[in-house]
Amino acid sequence: METEAIKQLAPAIAIGLGSLGPGLAIGLLAGKALEAIGRNPEAAPKIQTAMILAIAFAEAIAIYALVVALSIKFV
């Protein structure tokens, strides 16, 4: 492969693999939170707060992957 092709492919691989984990994590978090709210509806505000906080941390990992992909592309 040419060097230019690798330079274009590397950011795509970085963001693709970097967003795979957070995507799975957010799906699992939301699913488990909905199960917990279904079992105990009175605890919904506490569960929702914890879920949103955990989703924000998972999304931060995807943002790190985006930063790495952009730095690969433009540096």
Q: What is the C-alpha to C-alpha distance for residues 61 and 25, in angstroms, rounded to an integer? A: 11
User: What integer pLDDT is reported at residue 17 of this predicted model?
Assistant: 93
Mean pLDDT of 41-55: 96
Q: What is the C-alpha to C-alpha distance for residues 37 and 57, in angstroms, rounded to an integer? A: 21
Backbone φ and ψ of 66, nearest 5°: -65, -40
pLDDT at 16 over 90: yes
Q: What is the C-alpha to C-alpha distance for residues 15 and 1, in angstroms, rounded to an integer? A: 21
Q: pLDDT class for 1, splitting at 50, 70, 90? A: low
Mean pLDDT of 38-45: 96
Q: What is the C-alpha to C-alpha distance for residues 44 and 15, in angstroms, rounded to an integer? A: 33
Q: Where are the domains of the chain?
A: 1-74
Query: CATH says 1-74 is which class?
Result: mainly alpha
pLDDT at 54 over 70: yes
Residues with Cβ < 8 Å from 34, sequence gap 6 or more?
Answer: none
